[in-house]
Structure 1
Amino acid sequence: VRVCREKTTGQVYAMKKLKKAEMLRRGQVEHVRAERNLLAEVDSNYIVKLYCSFQDDDHLYLVMEYLPGGDMMTLLMRKDTLTEEEAKFYVAETVLA
């Protein structure tokens, strides 16, 4: 995921760039399609907004709302385990969503 800026408006977005060959190799085509469709259809304060998606010969691109701070997967990979207080916080946030 990269941070990008729209030239005319200066609006900042997060752009996820996915290699098509890698998706095919890992059998993730349906998973990525479901992610894209979900993000396109859901309007929630708890789910990142998808503005558009497009593709070229080699990659699929998802242009999304930029939310600084990262995501849960990155947090778990970085920390390995959460404290009890952190776990309570994230479980509560998930339930509220």
Structure 2
Amino acid sequence: MTSSTATRMCDRLVRKGLVTRRNRDDDRRAAWMTLTPAGRDLVGDAMRRRATEVGLVGELSMTRPRAVLAAMASLALFTRIRLYMCTRLPGYDRS
């Protein structure tokens, strides 16, 4: 990732109110980024969802690898569909 890409990503997070940026006095090229309460809530939600998904995959029996593969493919497809649908909602902002 280039530094300009990272800067744009951070700018979007600041605009969405998920992080705050504080310039560093000792190095103008760097800044301190801190999660806001909304950012912490979002990260917590994502971690809980991830733990649930990992738990579901962990319950699959490795004695049936084709079933595991089919379940993972279904989860990947569902995730892509959900992301596509979210981007089509009114008020969705990619910035």
Q: Is TM > 0.5 for Structure 1 vs Structure 2?
A: no
Greater share of strand: 1
What is the TM-score of this pair, normalised by structure 2?
A: 0.31
Greater share of helix: 2
Bigger Rg, structure 1 or 2: 2
What is the TM-score of this pair, normalised by structure 1?
A: 0.31
